[in-house]
Structure formats: C-alpha cells, structure tokens
Amino acid sequence: MNQQGRMLLRIVVGLYLLYLAYKLITAQMAGGTDMSDLVAYGAGVVLGLGGLGFCDYAVMSYFRAKKKEEASAQQQDG
C-alpha cells in the first residue's frame, strides 16, 4: 500500500474513533445509557483525543515521508 493509501486508512480510523466518542457522549447526555457520567465522558474524551491524535499522526507522517521523498529525488537529480 502506498503512502496515500496508508494516510487515508489512518484518517478513516481516526474519524471512526471521533464518531464513537461523539455517539458515546451524546447517548449519555440523552440519558440513553446506564453508565455513570464519569465513565462515559471519560471514555468519550479518551476516544476523541485518540481519534484526533491518530488523524494528526497520519497527516504529519504523510507529509514527512513526502518531504523525504522529494529531498531524495532532488539529491539524485543534482
């Protein structure tokens, strides 16, 4: 799988974690779960931050790899 494919897959996973966090928190706010508020909100925050971190990692690693690839190509040309 190429760099763009990896980045896209990682972003999809990160967005899914954000979606899970959103659903968990909104369900708790609506009173649709039997979990304690502390557990639900804590898990939502952890999932949300994990999703954001995963998306950030995917984008940053993609740009680092692309920059390294361009530097390698310039070094070979010149």
Write out pLDDT tens, residues 15-26: 999 999 999 999
Structural domain includes residue 57: yes
Number of folded domains in the chain? 1
Structural domain includes residue 48: yes
Give me the domain span that covers residue 44: 3-71
Q: Is the pTM value of this prediction over 0.85?
A: no
Structural domain includes residue 33: yes
How confident is the model at residue 13, as a pLDDT? 95
Structural domain includes residue 76: no
Structural domain includes residue 59: yes
44 in Cβ contact with 35 (< 8 Å) = no
Which tokens hold the place of 35? 């979990």
Structural domain includes residue 61: yes
Structural domain includes residue 55: yes
- CA distance linking residue 16 with residue 52, whole number of Å: 10
Neighbour tally for 28: CB within 10 Å: 19
Which residue has 């996973």 as its token pair?
A: 13
Q: Which residue from 68, 73, 66 is spatially nearest to 3, judged by alpha carbons?
A: 66
pLDDT tens digits for range 24-75: 999 999 988 888 999 999 999 999 999 999 999 999 998 998 898 888 888 8
77 in Cβ contact with 33 (< 8 Å) = no
Q: What 3-state class would DSSP assign to 50? A: helix
